[in-house]
Amino acid sequence: MFKHIFIAQTKLFFRNKESILWNLLFPFAMVTLYYVAFHNIADTENFKIDPVPVAVEKTDQTIEGMPFRQFLESEGESHTMDGDQILYDTETNKNLVPILVDRPAGEKLVESGKVDGMITYEKGKPISYVLGPRDIENYRVIMVKAMMDYYQQRENTVTRIINEAVDRRIPISNDQVSQMISTLNGKDYLMTLKTPVSNVSKYTVFYLAILAYICIAAVAKGIDVVGNVEAVYSPVSMRAAISPTSKRLRFIAVMVASLVMAVLLNLLTFGYMLLLKMPVGDSYGAIVGIVVLGTFVGFFMGTAVGSLLPGKMTLKNGLGIILPLAMGFMSGMMSVEVKYAIDTHLPVVQKFNPLNAIVEGLNALRFYETMEIYSHNMVYLGGLLVAFIALTMIGLRRADYESL
């Protein structure tokens, strides 16, 4: 009988258009969506920062020939004005587009959003950078500030050396000063260690989260299996219930058929991700292991929800969609910042999120040389699996129906 139900269930899978849509098309559509969405940022090495247009207020320091003016001219990209439009080469390697204007015109440019902010440098005062309304933690702000800091700190150093030389009556020529500074050009003090994490973008979490989501999305299949077995949910399951086959055997047969399909499809999806060269890692054996275990956890979470939760099948089906999405949301599937916020402020919630355990396991494979964190997450997922199987067994045994 097991064989009969198993074969029938497998045939049903391929004959049911809805099931084909959900099981085959859905994971591939999700992966494709992520692939296309992060097309630009998959490779951070090639990501280019556009030059930042800023207004520079005309002061005594910006007069032709002054060092600050020279600095702006050498480090900044030139521009032309077409009416009120600022035109410049966006492909340039320079980071700044300085637009020399008087204060009212500069304020107008900032207010109209045509420039990021306005730089003012007057003798005896530090450089100030007044920003338009934008995210002040933004890299564009950091970049402009770093350039201005660099200039005034360097100016301070050189002025000090010259003053010391004058005070101590030590002759130093302009050439010697230039040489002191020019020897620094291109010197790189830092060597980034080639740890795997430094080679990938933090946006990789998106890819890991989508793989984990696809595993946990098996919740819906688990709920379906309960719907097929419990007599109360459909005329088909009611007919099956009066057949001379025990519920346990029917459940096991339907469950095995469904689970085998889920695992195969998720592995196929993983293969598709590799085909698209998504950076999910290269420890293929370990990834396959966590994908299989994750699918089991998702599936049996579904059977537990389906068998224990009272209510109609439509509600449970709704949960089958919502639960993985909610867990994915907390694990960085939609926003890495949300994952970090939950990790920091609500670590207890994250501890009970199996999708996050899969993400951490996958991330650990990319990060660590050892398998410790990965194994820890696998054990945790294994524990959850046992718990969900036990809950399913409790939920399925001896259900009484007032009427069918």
Interface with another protein includes 343 (CB under 8 A)? yes
Closest separation between CB of residue 216 and another protein, Å? 13
Q: How many residues line the site for another protein (CB under 8 A)?
A: 107
Contacts of 19 (CB under 8 A, 6+ apart): 12, 13
Interface with another protein includes 187 (CB under 8 A)? yes
Please give the residues from 152 up to 171 whose contact with another protein meets the rule CB under 8 A.
152-154, 156-158, 160-161, 164-165, 168, 170
In whole angstroms, what is the distance from residue 383 CA to residue 380 CA?
Answer: 5
Interface with another protein includes 397 (CB under 8 A)? no
Please give the residues from 304 up to 323 whose contact with another protein meets the rule CB under 8 A.
312, 314-315, 317-319, 321-323
Q: Find the farthest-apart pair of alpha carbons in the chain and give their distance in angstroms, rounded.
A: 109
Contacts 24+ apart (CB under 8 A), 315-323: 316/223, 316/226, 316/227, 317/220, 317/223, 317/224, 319/219, 319/223, 320/219, 320/220, 320/222, 320/223, 320/224, 321/220, 323/216, 323/219
Interface with another protein includes 86 (CB under 8 A)? no
Interface with another protein includes 232 (CB under 8 A)? no
Stretch that binds another protein, among 56-64, 221-229, 258-266, 324-332 (CB under 8 A): 324-332
Closest separation between CB of residue 85 and another protein, Å? 11
Stretch that binds another protein, among 1-9, 96-104, 256-264, 343-351 (CB under 8 A): 343-351
Of residues 139 and 401, the one with the C-beta less far from another protein: 139
Stretch that binds another protein, among 275-283, 292-300, 359-367, 384-392 (CB under 8 A): 359-367
Interface with another protein includes 325 (CB under 8 A)? yes
Closest separation between CB of residue 381 and another protein, Å? 18
Closest separation between CB of residue 1 and another protein, Å? 29
Please give the residues from 2 up to 41 whose contact with another protein meets the rule CB under 8 A.
17-18, 21-22, 25-26, 29-30, 33-34, 36-41
Interface with another protein includes 102 (CB under 8 A)? no
In a 3-state reduction of DSSP, which class is residue 129?
Answer: strand
The mark string for 113-142 relative to another protein (x by CB under 8 A, - otherwise) is x------------xxxxxxxxxxxx-x-xx
Contacts of 182 (CB under 8 A, 6+ apart): none
The region that residue 113 occupies, defined by phi over 0 for left and psi between -120 and 50 for alpha, beta otherwise, is left
Exposure pattern of 283-318 as b/e (b: 16+ CB <10 Å)?
A: beebbeebbbbbbbbbbbbbbbbbbeeeeebeebee
Please give the residues from 287 up to 306 whose contact with another protein meets the rule CB under 8 A.
none
Q: 399, 350, 356: which is closest to 377 by C-alpha?
A: 356
Tokens 């005034």, residue located: 152
Return the CA Rg of the chain: 31
